[in-house]
Amino acid sequence: MCGIVGYLGDKEAAPILLSGLRRLEYRGYDSAGIAVANGAPSTVLRRRGKLAELERLVATETPHGNVGIGHTRWATHGRPSDENAHPHKVGGVSLVHNGIIENHVDLRRRLQGEARVFKSETDTEIVAHLVDRALRDGAPTLIEAVRMALSEVRGAYAIVVMSDDHPEQIVAAKNASPLVLGIGESETFLASDVPALLEHTRDVLFLEEGEIVEITRGGVRVERMDGRVVERSPRRIEWDAAQAEKGGYPHFMLKEIHEQPRAIADTLRGRLDVEGGDASIGTFDADAGRLRRVVLLACGTSYHAGLVGKFLIEGLAGIPAEVDLASEFRYRDPVIGPDDLVVGISQSGETADTLAAIKEARSRGARALAISNVVDSAIARASDGALYTYAGPEIGVASTKCFTAQLAALALLALHLGRRTGKLSLEAGRAFASELQQIPAKMERVLAVSGDLSDVAQRSASVSDVLFLGRGVNYPIALEGALKLKEISYIHAEGYAAGEMKHGPIALIDDGMPVVVIAPMGPSYEKVLSNLAEVKARDGRIIAVATEGDKHLRSVSDVVLSVPDAPPLLQPLLTVVPLQILAYSVAVAKGNDVDQPRNLAKSVTVE
């Protein structure tokens, strides 16, 4: 996600802001900006591209002042550009924001109705307008104006605000996006992440949900949104810089595994309508009534998301769906035309094969929708529309949170189509939407119980092969579990449809072969149990992914990884999580470079 920094003290703010933003570069960004004030109106400088671009601009403009805020942006609403970069300045208000404003469409319309003019495509500028409006309406203090503005906002945010009318202060508020204060000697720092603070101070104060803070020369005052004062002492951070970048986790991959509930919640935010049993896919018109077929195109992990997408689209919308490896599709003579919808899935949005496959399909008349984690990516631009995932930048090469965010986006798409083809009634739509909304909390439970798999991992680290078995919608998860293990542990692993085992791979099973069986409660449960019995009869060692409380599986398996109950179509969002942790733990046990596995690149822009 985006990075935030802030400073109020006696030193020049601009160099402190720029060096703070440098410390957050590892998170990924597409543009950057700062606002600096010295009692007079703030100077706002913004640039698309790398920080070096902003640094050049700052060197030319030389803004002076002891108060400032800065931001690195990872586009969500509106493409990467100078205009969309933060800070946004409206009237005398300069503001930076991380997160997503859910009701931005409504708010923008209302503010435009009040003759307010927007200069960017962002949801952030809306909040700057709201704060400016509150000040003009007579809010006595900046903190009061921010409070009034936020009372109209729904969504996830960390915002930081300065005002020309209230110099020498910064107000910040947090709801679901991180924000931390660094407490120095007569100076205060502010950041979205600890690494930006460590060169100045190790005494930090993490803001909690629904808190708002006023930073002045007198110090910091933290309040709840209702005005109650919060008394909390700073805590001393002992992390080194590398640990701080990983939020205290030993590796980015583990941090990103733990970020999944938030990534899913952000991807669903403002799109899932539980009451109406429906989902919005933005401005793209899927023309569901006319669709003959949906063709999902992707590579690697994203291809596995596509395989789950087929179940979702056929199950909820009753539209035939096919999944193709983009690298195969582009070199076939594919039968595809105007009544087909192509869905290109890519976390990076720039995978060469997926891009070429989308272009090929469009050249034959099909319409294309991109599911991408990068706004305005090549794949999004090459498509007729985009349904973005909001997982935030993924640094670990092995994809985890982007995969589950893709599953969430596909669930939204399937629900949207299902309500339009009529296959899903209002009641059924509501039931599915409500289950989907519960997924982030259920994922938290999986993360809490999966805990430490180092024992299992130690025992698996020396094997040379692992088999992953699943059926139905969990078969793609068997493929994904195997891919994760291969990528980072370098152990040969194969995903197989459990029913296919007796047609060949059963010959491999002996007491040295761990078999991971994905067997949550659902339509395939009994069948998978029979497959499991076949493994057991040949002394295979069984690691089962099971629904919480499944005593039978516990009695026949060597290790059980539990997940909460969920409707079959949503199970992959949960069953994949213990497999990610398993792969991670085995790679750690082997001493491998988890975040940068050998021979792999994060984005594959060659054929």
DSSP class per residue in 553-573:
HHHH-SEEEEE----GGGTHH
- In sequence order, the β-bridge partners of residue 6 are 69, 190
84 vs 347, which CB is nearer to ligand F6R?
Answer: 347
580 scored as a contact of ligand F6R (CB under 6 A)? no
Total site size for ligand F6R, rule CB under 6 A: 14
312 vs 319, which CB is nearer to ligand F6R?
Answer: 312
Which residue's beta carbon is nearest to the bound ligand F6R?
300
75 vs 111, which CB is nearer to ligand F6R?
Answer: 75
Catalytic residue among 2, 174, 255, 402: 2
CB of 405 to ligand F6R, least distance (A): 11
Q: CB under 8 Å to 386, separation ≥6 — which residues?
A: 282, 284, 369, 370, 371, 372, 375, 380
437 vs 603, which CB is nearer to ligand F6R?
Answer: 603
Q: Contact with ligand F6R (CB under 6 A): which of 302, 383, 404, 450?
A: 302
CB burial string 508-538: b at 16+ within 10 A, e below: bbeeebbbbbbbbbbebbeebbebbebbbee
Q: Is 527 a catalytic residue?
A: no
Q: Is 299 a catalytic residue?
A: no
Site string for ligand F6R, 345-384 (x = CB under 6 A): -xxx--x--x------------------------------
Is the Cα torsion angle 476, 482, 486, 487 positive or negative in sign? positive
Reduced DSSP (H G I as helix, E B as strand, rest coil) percent helix, strand, coil of the chain, to 5: 40, 25, 35
- For the record, the structure tokens of 496 come out as 């197989």
CA gap 595, 487 in Å, rounded = 10
* Residue 407 C-beta-side C-alpha neighbours within 13 Å: 32
Site string for ligand F6R, 379-418 (x = CB under 6 A): -------------------xx-------------------
603 scored as a contact of ligand F6R (CB under 6 A)? yes
CB of 378 to ligand F6R, least distance (A): 10
Catalytic residue among 50, 527, 590, 602: 602
Sheet holding 492-497, edge to edge: 492-497, 465-470, 514-519, 541-547, 559-563
125 vs 394, which CB is nearer to ligand F6R?
Answer: 394
CB of 257 to ligand F6R, least distance (A): 12
Sheet holding 211-216, edge to edge: 88-90, 93-101, 155-163, 166-175, 211-216, 219-224, 229-230
368 vs 566, which CB is nearer to ligand F6R?
Answer: 368
Q: Exposure of 384 by Cβ count < 10 A (0-12 exposed, 13-18 middle, 19+ buried)?
A: middle
Q: Which stretch binds ligand F6R (CB under 6 A): 300-308, 329-337, 418-426, 514-522?
A: 300-308
550 scored as a contact of ligand F6R (CB under 6 A)? no
The three-class DSSP label of residue 187 is: coil
Chain residues binding ligand F6R by CB under 6 A are: 299-302, 346-348, 351, 354, 398-399, 487, 603-604
**Annotated catalytic sites, by residue?**
2, 602
